Structure 1
Amino acid sequence: MASSATTGNPMPPSLSMPPSQFARLQPHAYLRAHLSPPSSDQPSVRANGRATSQFRVTSVNTGSLTHANGSAVVRIGDTTAVCGVRAELLHTSDISSWGVSQAPSKQNPTNTNEAKDSKSEDEDDQGQIQDLNLLVPNLSLSTGCAPGLTPGAPPSALAQSLSHQILSLLHTTNLVRADDLRIWYQPPNFDSEEFHNPGEGMEVDTEQSGGPEREIKAFWVLYIDIMILSMAGNAFDAAWASVLAALRDTKLPNAWWDDDNETILCSDDFAEAHRLTLRGLPIASSFCCFEGDAAAGWRANVIPDAEEQKKKKGSQQKWILADPDGYEEGLTQERACVVVDKENGKTIIVKMEKHGGWNVDSDDLRKLVDVSSQRWDDLKQALEQC
């Protein structure tokens, strides 16, 4: 029998396909084939080459925007977020309910011997920041950062959801102190002996002599603008890390109340600017749960006892993937986010949420806390080096 080379007939095409084409045609089977090791001794490896609990390389740069009080650029893999913090003044005279809602005792407690504890201070800060909207985050997705984002389109539901998540986390963590945003004024005590005998130069305590209490004249409002330049999965972690880095880089100018002109004046000297004293360093770590059964979602709705059968068989495979990329996010529905902080070497759970499924149980969440604690150490080092 003559071969195709001698007869001139072309060779039949190969039935194999490159991995990239297989990933597009059968994405679920492609990812499952990578996560399923040939033997139980080998660990699961994702399609991008990472382990299930491995995060992408993170880089942080601060001070990138010259016309902002603080800025940062955070890149997690191919996901890039830039954040700029802009401070504006809010006079108390422009707050309609200021004179009614703010009693003098709240501005300057009469009993100075008893200092406020940290809990009451946090509650006071949280209430004042939320009531006056002193923190205003806004996230936007730049055109071309991901497929489907066309020019001129209205804000997507994802952008609005991420903005709400960042605002909620800012309020939950009490990250920014309200006292850093207050501009105080101490009225002079004209009844003191200092004004009646100016030549003697006596030092008089205004509190002991019954002088007027100091009052808040204005607040700094922080507009936190985040833009996702490129989105390749896990946009929330990148956005929140950029907010953290930008707030750590924020400097507010020295401001005071000018009684003669009845306005707020700010110093142009950059050396007099002060940084924000943030509470802790809450770092968010996001995860997704990949199910080995591609039909688990609709089977639970069609078959009434599918969930019970699934638990009895115990054959359902699941992989919890840390820092999912865009390819993995498109194949998963259940998500989890763990926000942790550390104090004196002890891990503190700030916030924990899960949605989209029921595969991730309490044992899995305990493991995610350990992974998030390690992630905290790595990201803290990146933030301190910038």
Structure 2
Amino acid sequence: MASTTAAAASQPAAPSLALPPSQFARLQPHAYLLAHLSPPASSQQPSIRANGRAPSQFRVTSANTGSLTHTNGSAVVRVGDTTAVCGVKAEILHTEDIASWSVSHSSSSPSNKRRKLTNPTEKPGEDREDGSKDDEDDDNSYIEDFSLLVPNLSLSTGCAPGFIPGAPPSALAQSLSHQILSLLHSSRLVRAEDLEIWYQRPNFGAEELERHNEGEQMDVDAGPEAEEANLEAREIKAFWVLYIDIMIISLAGNPFDAAWTAVLAALRDTKLPRAWWDVDNETVVCSDLVSEARKLSLRGLPVASSFGVFEADAAAGWRAVVIPDAEEERKLAESERKGIQRRWILADPDGYEEGLTQERVSLVVDKTSNGKVKLLKMEKNGGFAVDRKELKDLVDISARRWDDINQILQRC
């Protein structure tokens, strides 16, 4: 009896027919994610993603500024396992080196830049209550015409499988660089006046020289005529060009949100030295005093939120069906009647989920000082599942995401 028991104990156990979760996720990724999002009704479990998040939940986000030396501003942002590093370097561009620059720019623009605010308490560049903007937005054409903002995104070697040394810039990197540049222009985040370097020509008329010699304060109660003359005496001599370099050092899905948040944090950290035109040397001179450097006065805080649509039918994303046929409509109606969910909108998809979603939605929102939500950009591609009502819900989710990012950047 004892020998029989020992022999049975020495025999190896029968292998289990069940697949471990890691192998199940690799062999059947769609079924694996669907099993998490659509648990059996008897289990009374909520719909949850394979990474443990709710469908509308974003990954943990952190930010740190001032991490890079020899830059005017820098930031490191981590969204889950996706990490983006951004550095901003400022260089001077003389107007004489701009081929399209002419005398009309320097002679006519100052008078056109007079701030005519209807309410003295308004800040330049803010939206008024009637929805209009002040004249400051007109000079933002300089930024786009003269390429004063130059973003460049690169995917570092080893950030994800497939990125090998010596490979040319990928299509993803070029697409992300173009998206960031387009959003910088459309959101008018950077003010053109922060990038202008002016020269104030002295005006030594007889009356002004006499008042100056008597030690009186000049330009006090000067009136509109004197103010106009003072503006006409100003001339733009150079611009600051901001080179915004972003590097994705770890790619685990949704690189655009991480890269754009890094750009926001780096620009909020950017300081430009005090610069002026030296008449004797005919060049721009910068002060080396850190106390005289000034930060950029950014216009708002546009926050990007990305979403992916996961279909219960694995082939739904591959069928180019604009108008569902009768059979498809019947299935949808039957699913709604039974309360069966056929698709999920996943916020901040990770790398595993991006390979299973065909339709993508990206929203950029901002909030005014009174809490009003402004939709700055909406991009939807890859399908026709998301309707108007769901887009409205995504705007509300993006507004809550704005509150989270605002608190994170405030602590930097």
Q: 1:290 aligns with which of 292, 310, 317?
A: 310
Task: Give distance in 2, aligned partners of 1:379 and 1:165.
Answer: 20
- TM-score, length basis structure 1: 0.92
For structure 1, the residue ranges without an aligned partner over 5 or more in a row are: none
In structure 1, C-alpha distance between the alignment counterparts of 2:330 and 2:163, rounded to whole Å: 44
Decide whether aligned partners of structure 1 residues 185 and 51 sit closer, same or farther in structure 2, where only a CA change above 3 A counts: same
Distance in 2 (alpha carbons) for counterparts of 1:357 and 1:105: 49
CA 1:300–1:312: 2 relative to 1, 3 Å: farther
CA, structure 1 residues 29+153, in 2 after alignment: closer, same or farther (shift >3 Å)? Answer: same
Counterpart in 2 of 1:148? 162
Match in the other structure for 1:86: 89
Residue in structure 2 matched with residue 65 of structure 1 by the alignment: 68
- The counterpart of 1:359, out of the listed 385, 397, 401, is 385
Aligned counterpart in structure 1 of residue 396 of structure 2, from 328, 350, 370:
370
- Work out whether 1:33 is the aligned partner of 2:35: yes
Out of 314-323 and 279-288, give the one that drifted further: 314-323
The number of aligned residues is: 382
Q: Does 1:128 align with 2:142?
A: yes
Matched, 1:264 2:284: yes
Task: State which of 11, 20, 38 in structure 1 corresponds to 2:22.
Answer: 20
Shift of residue 124, structure 1, vs aligned partner: 1.8
Q: What is aligned with 1:322? A: 347
Which amino acid in 1 is paired with 2:112?
P
Is the 1:79–1:230 Cα contact (8 Å) retained in structure 2?
Answer: yes
Instruction: State how far apart, in whole Å, the 2-side matches of 1:131 and 1:183 are.
Output: 17
Shift of 1:224: 0.3
* Aligned mate of 1:178, from 192, 195, 211: 192
Alpha-carbon distance in structure 1 between the residues aligned to 2:361 and 2:6: 57
Structure 2 vs 1, CA of residues 300 and 130 (structure 1 numbering), >3 Å: closer, same or farther?
closer
RMSD: 2.5
- How far apart in 2 are the matches of 1:99 and 1:53? 52
Distance 2:34 2:248 in 1: 29
Distance 1:127 1:62 in 2: 29
Task: Kindly provide the amino acid, as one letter, of the partner of residue 399 in structure 2.
Answer: S
- Displacement of 1:13 in angstroms is 2.1
Q: Structure 1 pair 49/91, CA: closer, same or farther in 2 (3 Å)? A: same
Shift of 1:226: 0.3
With normalisation by structure 2, the TM-score equals 0.86
Q: Which residue does the alignment assign to 2:242?
A: 222
Query: How far is 1:268 from its partner?
Result: 0.5
Q: Judge conservation of contact 1:122–1:174 (CA < 8 Å) in 2.
A: no
Q: Distance in 1 between matches of 2:347 and 2:168?
A: 31
Which of 137, 143, 158 is 2:172 aligned to?
158
Partners of 1:36 and 1:364 in 2: how far apart? 19
**1:338 Cα shift?**
1.0
Deviations 1:298-352 (A, max 9, x none): 4446xx9755532332047110000100000011111001111111112111111
Write out aligned runs for 1:102-121 (5 A).
Answer: 102=105, 104-109=107-112, 114=116, 118=125, 119=133, 121=135
SS state at 1:43 partner: coil
Tell me, in whole angstroms, the C-alpha distance in 1 between the residues paired with 2:8 and 2:214.
Answer: 119
Any idea what the Cα deviations from partners look like across 1:37-69, whole Å, max 9, x if unmatched?
A: 222864210000000000111111000001100
Determine the C-alpha separation between the residues in 1 that align with 2:216 and 2:10.
113
Worse-matched range after superposition: 2-11 or 148-157: 2-11
2:330 corresponds in structure 1 to: 312
Shift of 1:202: 5.1
Distance 1:94 1:309, change over 3 A: same
Equivalent residues of 1:300, 1:306 under 8 A apart: no
CA contact (8 A) 2:198 2:276 kept: yes
1:147-172 CA deviation, whole Å, 9 max, x = no partner? 10010000000000000010111111
Deviation at 1:7, TM superposition (A): 10
Conserved 8 A contact 1:108-1:214: no
Cα distance between partner residues in 1 of 2:206 and 2:88:
43
Shift of 1:93: 1.0
How far is the alpha carbon of 1:204 from its aligned partner? 5.2
For 2:165 and 2:115, how far apart are their aligned partners in 1?
A: 60
